[in-house]
Each structure stands twice: as structure tokens, then as C-alpha cells.
Amino acid sequence: MPKSLTRLVTALLIGLAAAAAAQDTHLESNPVVSESLTVSGSVETPMVLSPADLEGLSARQLGELEVICQNGANRGKTENLRGVLLKDILDRAGLAAASPRDFRRMAVIAKATDD
């Protein structure tokens, strides 16, 4: 996987992990919770993963991380995040590109069910 895509995937993982960490306190106020993770688009093997599928994958423990919003604002730091790396999920799905330069034009779009 190209280095720039690895950075993007890492940044997205941080955001997803922070959202997952906050989910426990959010469940009481928002009963709509995602039941699956769909990987589609420019992949060789589209997938729909359940929480049980994700639990079966190798999880990583991350240290202290800065949380940066899309506008560049620093929202502080978070600690002790644990979860599956998005890179590992994308490796399993197999990114489909005609040439290595095509990776530069790819984007990962994440949509959550919570507000």
C-alpha cells in the first residue's frame, strides 16, 4: 500500500477508534447503532463485516493520539484506543487499481449512523 494511503488509513482509523470509544456513552441517547461495516468501491473483494467478524480480526492497541478535526482544529488527545486497523481490512478486501498511480486518486469515505 502506498505511503500516502497508509497515512490516510491511519488517520481514518484514529477517527473510527475515537468514535468507537465514545460510542459506549452515546448508546443510551442514540439507539441507532451500526450493525455492519461495508467495504465496497475500488476493491477486489467487496465485504460486509459484522461486529463478530471484526472481533475475529487482529486488534491493535494504540498509544496517545491527537484528535484533529477536518478543519485542522486540535481537539485534544485520546489514549488507550484498541481496534482493527483499517489498513488490515483494506488489505483483506484488496484495493483495485490499474496502476500504482491510481492510489493517489482514491479516497476512503466513512459514514456513521450516529449524529
Residue 63: what pLDDT? 82
**b vs e for 44-62, b when ≥16 Cβ sit within 10 Å of the residue's Cβ?**
eeeeebeeeeeeeeeeeeb
2 CB-contact burial (10 Å; exposed 0-12 / middle 13-18 / buried 19+): middle
Nearest alpha-carbon partner for 108 in 28, 1, 24, 9: 9
Q: What mean pLDDT, rounded, does the chain reach?
A: 78
pLDDT digit string (tens) for 39-86?
Answer: 998 899 999 999 899 889 998 888 888 888 878 888 888 888 888 988
Q: pLDDT tens digits for 93-103?
A: 998 988 888 88
Cell of 24: 459506549
